[in-house]
Amino acid sequence: MPSNPLNRWLLVAIALVIFGWGPLIAVVVLAQLGLWPDPNPNPIGPGLLMFFTFWPAIICFAIGTLRGSSRRPQAENPTDHVT
């Protein structure tokens, strides 16, 4: 098993999710909890940030998952070596 299961594609995808989706999710959650000054916010900036980072993050997750699963060595099946 590799010591670092996250490849660069997955790290980029995680960064896009945190920095691209995080502000909008934070505004929505804080507004629902009553901690945001406006109870019915219209966060244009965070919404646009999520709009432009959504598909790149999904694509990076897909590529990272496919590349990570193709590099894993196949487990040896003990029943294949019957003597």
In a domain, 77, yes or no: no
| pLDDT of amino acid 6 | 82
Structural domain includes residue 7:
no
Domain assignment of residue 9, yes or no = no
- Which residue, 1, 4, 2, 10, is CA-closest to 58? 10
CA distance 61 to 33: 30
Q: Does residue 5 lie within any of the structural domains?
A: no
Q: Residue 75 pLDDT more than 80? A: no
61 inside domain: yes
Evaluate if pTM is beyond 0.85: no
Domain with 35 in it: 19-69
Q: Is the pLDDT of residue 56 over 60?
A: yes
Residue 3 in this model has a pLDDT that exceeds 60: no
Question: Cα(17)–Cα(69) distance, rounded to whole angstroms?
Answer: 21
pLDDT digits (tens, 9 = 90+) for 11-50: 999 999 999 999 999 999 999 999 999 989 999 999 999 9
In a domain, residue 43? The reply is yes
pLDDT > 70 fraction of the chain, expressed in percent and rounded = 80
Q: How many domains does the chain have?
A: 1
**pLDDT at residue 81, as a whole number:** 59
